[in-house]
Structure 1
């Protein structure tokens, strides 16, 4: 049975490493937003607004449509 454990142990570690990493979806930002919204500290809200403003200024805007 030791050979079976030695075979599946690295596979199990790889499986957990692949499936427990951070997700690359917007869900994490939404969870963070909900945490910020529920926080009573004014400083957190100010920092969040600065972050949102900085993000909107750095995203490239689309060129105006040609007529």
Structure 2
């Protein structure tokens, strides 16, 4: 049974890497929806500061 696990282990790592990037992007979108639905204006201001700091500035 050990040889079977050693055979599937690299495949599982590849599968996890392929699908983890999708989850990260989806998580940011869920966070964005939560921030925009928050009635507190301070949270939305902090979100806009965060977004502006991540975008490359035009020199």
Report the TM-score, using the length of structure 1 for normalisation.
0.49
Give unpaired runs (5+ residues) of structure 1. 1-22, 59-67
**Which structure 2 segments of 5+ residues have no match?**
1-22
Moved over 3 A (4+): none
Count residues with an aligned counterpart. Answer: 59
TM-score w.r.t. the length of structure 2 is 0.54
> More helix per residue: 1 or 2?
2
Bigger Rg over Cα: 1
**Higher relative contact order, structure no. (Cα contacts within 8 Å, ≥ 6 residues apart):** 2
